[in-house]
Amino acid sequence: MAQPDPTTAQATLAALRDRAERGDPGAVEELIDLAVELGDMSELRRLADAGNPTATDELIQLAAEKGDLGELRRLSDGGNATAADQLIELATEQDNLDELRRLAAHGNTTAAEQLGELTAE
């Protein structure tokens, strides 16, 4: 799918935000879909931080695809188990022992197991 014109996309995002703020649930769904299409992590983050679980899920998926450890860490540290799982997976793929150690030190047993496997090799 071709990327929409940036000016048009921003205008559409603004219109959808306005509709969503007025309580239109369809606009929220459209806003999430467009943000995903555009790869707009800041819009997804705004919606996720406002408590939208679909936006949170999409943000996690996009952050994992982009290799954004910082975003996954933020969500994981906020208690999101899916983000923690994705963070562990990404840190393992990148051989990021420091991140796995940090997670293990905070009691994440999966991170501790992955760390053990990576350091045993």
pLDDT tens figures, 24-33: 989 999 999 9
Alpha-carbon span 19 to 27, nearest angstrom: 6
Burial class (CB in 10 A: 0-12, 13-18, 19+), 5: exposed
- The DSSP output letter for 106 is T
List the Cα angle 106/111/113 in 5-degree steps.
Answer: 125
Confidence (pTM): 0.85
pLDDT tens figures, 59-117: 999 999 999 999 999 999 999 999 999 999 999 999 999 999 999 999 999 999 999 99
Alpha-carbon span 91 to 98, nearest angstrom: 9
Domain residue limits, the chain: 1-66, 68-121
17, 39 contact by CB (below 8 A): no
